[in-house]
Structure 1
Amino acid sequence: CSNTSYSFQYHQIYQPTFLTWSTQRPSNRLNNAMSRPATLSTSLRSANGFLSSSPLAQESILRDLADAEGEEEEECHRTNNTADGDQDFGLSHEQHYSMAGSYRRTSYVASGPRPLFPSAQAPESRRANGQDREAALAEERSLLRDNHLIHPKHPRTTSTLSKKPSGLLKKTFVTGFVPRKGGADEESAVEDGGPNENTSLLGNPAEPYGGIDTPENIDKRWEEAVASGKIKTTWQREAIVLARYSRSLILTFLLQYSLTVTSVFTVGHIGKLELGAVSLASMTANITGYSVYQGLATSLDTLCAQAYGSGNKTLVGLQLQRMVYFLWAITIPIAIVWAAGPSIIGAIVPEKATAELAGQYLRVLIIGAPGYAAFEAGKRFVQAQGMFSATLIVLLICAPLNVFLHWLFVWRLGFGFIGAPIAVVIIENLMPLSLFLYVRFFGGMECWGGFSKLALRNWMPMIRLALPGLVMILAEYLAFEILTLSASWISPTHLATQSVLSTISTITYQIPFPISIAASTRIANLIGATLSDAAKVNAKVSLYAALFVGIFNMILLSSTREYIPRLFTNDADVIELTAKTLPLNAAFQLFDSLAALCNGILRGLGRQEIGGYVNLFAYYVIAMPISFGTGFGLHWDLYGLWAGPALALGIVAAVEGWFIYQTSWEKAVEEAQERNALS
Structure 2
Amino acid sequence: MSATYIHYAAPSSLPSDYAILSRYAGHNSERNEGEESAIEDREESELLLNAEEGEERPGRRTSLTAPFIRPLNPTMAPITARDKSPAAVPTENTPLLNPLVPRIEEEVDSPGHDSETTPSERVWEEVKILVKYTLPVFGSHVLEYSLVVASVISIGHLSTTALAAATLGSMTASVTGLSIIQGFASTLDTMLPSAWTSSEPKLVGLWAQRMAVVVAASLIPILAIWFNAESILLLLRQEPEVAHLAGIYLKWTAIGLPAYAFNGISRRYFQSQGLFTVPTRIIMVVAPINALLNYLLVWGPKPFSLGYIGAPIATAISFNLISIASVAYGIFFVPRTAWHPITRRSFTSLGILVQLGLSGAAQVCSEWWSWELVGLAASLLGPATLATQSVLLVSASTTFQAPFALSVATSVRVGNLLGEENAKRAGIAANSSLLVTFAIASIASTMFMVFRNSWAYLFNNDPEVVKLVASILPLVALFQVFDGLGATTGGILRARGKQFTGAMLNLSGYYLVGIPFGLWLAFKRDMGLTGLWIGLTVSLVYVATTGAYLCLTTDWEREVEKVRARLAADKGTSPAMQSHA
Q: Which TM-score tier does this pair reach, normalised by the shorter chain?
A: 0.5 to 0.7
**Code of the aligned partner of 2:321:** L
Partner of 1:139: 108
Deviation of 1:429 after TM superposition, in Å, equals 1.5
Q: Are positions 1:434 and 2:320 aligned together? A: no
The equivalent of 1:554 in structure 2 is 448
How far apart are the structure 2 equivalents of 1:131 and 1:261? 37
CA contact (8 A) 1:602 1:660 kept: no
User: For this pair of structures, how many residues does the alignment match?
Assistant: 501
Distance verdict in 2 for CA 1:672–1:656, change over 3 Å: closer
Q: Which has the higher contact order (CA 8 A, sep 6+)?
A: 2
- Write out aligned runs for 1:133-282 (5 A): 134-135=105-106, 138-139=107-108, 219-220=111-112, 222=113, 225=116, 232-233=120-121, 240-270=128-158, 273-282=161-170
Do the aligned partners of 2:127 and 2:433 also contact (CA within 8 Å) in 1? no
Match of 1:347 among 232, 235, 240: 235
**1:343-376 Cα distance to aligned partner (Å, 9 max, x none):** 3223325544443433332122122122222223
Pair 1:375–1:602, CA change in 2 (3 A): closer
**1:130 corresponds to which of 91, 98, 102:** 102
Normalised to the residue count of structure 2, the TM-score between the two structures is 0.68
Spell out, residue by residue over 1:192-214, the C-alpha distance to the aligned partner (whole angstroms, 9 max, x if none). Answer: xxxxxxxxxxxxxxxxxxxxxxx
C-alpha separation in 2, matches of 1:33 and 1:334? 30
Whether contact under 8 Å (1:561, 1:583) holds in the other structure is no
Partner of 2:396: 505
1:438-472 CA-partner distances (Å, limit 9, x unpaired):
11220255666776677577755554453332333
- 1:513 CA drift (Å): 2.6
Rounded to whole Å, the distance in 1 between the matches of 2:217 and 2:41 is: 31
**Secondary structure of the structure 1 residue equivalent to 2:449:** helix
What percentage of residue pairs aligned between the two structures are identical? 27
- Please tell me the residue identity of whatever aligns with 1:474: C
Letter of the structure 2 residue corresponding to residue 295 of structure 1: G
| More helix, by proportion | 2
2:351, 2:46 → 1: CA distance? 24
The one-letter amino acid paired with 2:516 is P
Q: Work out the CA distance in 1 between the residues paired with 2:242 and 2:534.
A: 26
Please say which of residues 532-541 and 350-359 is displaced more in the overlay.
532-541
CA separation of 1:318/1:399 partners in 2, compared to 1, >3 Å: closer, same or farther?
same
CA positional deviation for 1:631: 4.2
Q: Does 2:439 align with 1:545? A: yes
Distance 1:354 1:490, change over 3 A: farther
Which of 410, 422, 425 aligns to 2:313? It is 422
Work out the CA distance in 2 between the residues paired with 1:389 and 1:563.
Answer: 35
Instruction: State the secondary structure of the residue aligned to 1:558.
Output: coil
Question: CA contact under 8 A between 1:293 and 1:327: conserved in structure 2?
Answer: yes
Q: Residues of 2 paired with 1:353 and 1:502: CA distance? A: 27
Q: Structure 2: which amino acid aligns with 1:628?
A: L
Cα distance change, pair 255–80 in 1 and its aligned pair in 2 (3 A): closer
Task: Tell me the amino acid that sits aligned with residue 477 of structure 1.
Answer: W
Residue 554 of structure 1 and its aligned partner are, at CA, apart by 1.6
Structure 1 residues 538, 448: CA separation in 2 closer, same or farther (over 3 Å shift)? closer
Deviation of 1:509 after TM superposition, in Å, equals 0.5
Residues 279, 488 of structure 1: CA spacing in aligned structure 2 closer, same or farther, 3 A cutoff? farther
Query: Aligned pair in 2 of structure 1 residues 128, 407: CA closer, same or farther (>3 Å)?
Result: farther
Cα 1:594/1:277, change in 2 over 3 Å = same
Whether the 8 Å CA contact 1:599–1:611 is kept in 2: the answer is no
Distance 1:314 1:404, change over 3 A: same
Q: Does the 8 Å contact 1:512/1:549 carry over to 2? A: no
1:584 aligns with 2:472: yes
What is the distance in 2 between the residues matched to 1:302 and 1:242?
Answer: 17
What TM-score results when the alignment is normalised by the length of structure 1?
0.59
Residue by residue over 1:149-184, the C-alpha shift from the partner in whole angstroms, topping out at 9 and shown as x without a partner, is xxxxxxxxxxxxxxxxxxxxxxxxxxxxxxxxxxxx
Whole-Å separation in 1 of the counterparts to 2:217 and 2:378: 34
Q: 1:352 to 1:640 in 2, by over 3 A?
A: farther
Q: 1:604 to 1:430 in 2, by over 3 A?
A: closer
Counting only pairs closer than 5 Å after superposition, residues 293-312 of structure 1 correspond to structure 2 as 293-300=181-188
Shift of 1:130: 2.8
Amino acid of the residue matched to residue 459 of structure 2? P
Between the aligned partners of 2:390 and 2:519, the Cα distance in structure 1 is 18
Indicate the residue corresponding to 2:287 in structure 1.
399
Q: Deviations over 1:521-564 (max 9, x none)?
A: 77896994647997798467435404422323423662543332
Contact 1:295/1:472 (<8 A) preserved: yes
The answer to whether the aligner puts 1:334 opposite 2:222 as a matched pair is: yes
Matched AA of 1:558:
R
Cα contact 1:501–1:578 (8 A) shared by 2: no
Query: Which consecutive unaligned segments of at least 5 residues does structure 1 have?
Result: 1-20, 37-50, 56-74, 103-126, 141-217, 567-571
- Deviation of 1:584 after TM superposition, in Å, equals 1.7
CA separation in 1, counterparts of 2:431 and 2:363? 31
Three-state SS of the structure 2 residue aligned to 1:563 is: helix
- Answer yes or no: is the 8 Å Cα contact 1:307–1:313 preserved in 2: yes
- In structure 2, C-alpha distance between the alignment counterparts of 1:326 and 1:425, rounded to whole Å: 21
Structure 1: distance between partners of 2:213 and 2:558:
40
Aligned-partner residue type, residue 102 of structure 2: G
1:308 and 1:294 map into 2 onto residues whose CA distance is 21
- Shift in alpha-carbon separation, 1:425–1:520, aligned structure 2, 3 A: closer
Match of 2:534 in 1: 643
Partner residue of 1:148?
none
The C-alpha deviation readout for 1:623-659, integer Å capped at 9, x for no partner, is 22134334455665544443321332244455566x4
Q: Is the 8 A contact 1:275 1:496 kept in 2?
A: no
Flag the 1:595–1:277 CA change in 2: closer, same or farther, 3 A: same
| TM superposition shift of 1:285 | 0.4
What does residue 478 of structure 1 align with?
Answer: 369
Question: What is residue 512 of structure 2 aligned with on the other side?
Answer: 621
* Rounded Cα–Cα distance in structure 2 between residues aligned with 1:459 and 1:31: 12
1:315: Cα distance to partner? 7.0
Per-residue CA distance 1:583-616 (angstroms, 9 max, x = gap): 4255323323334236536865988677655443
Contact 1:346–1:352, Cα closer than 8 Å, also in 2: yes
1:394 is displaced (CA, Å) by 1.7
Question: CA separation in 2, counterparts of 1:549 and 1:632?
Answer: 33
The separation in 2 between residues aligned to 1:322 and 1:234, in whole angstroms, is 36
- Partners of 1:376 and 1:470 in 2: CA distance: 13
Counterparts of 1:360 and 1:336, CA distance in 2: 14
1:403 is displaced (CA, Å) by: 2.9
Q: Distance in 2 between matches of 1:336 and 1:263?
A: 23
Structure 1 residues 644 and 544 mapped into 2: Cα distance closer, same or farther (>3 Å)?
A: closer
Per the TM alignment, residue 305 of structure 1 is displaced from its structure 2 partner at its CA by 6.7
* Contact 2:266 2:326 (C-alpha < 8 Å) held by counterparts: yes
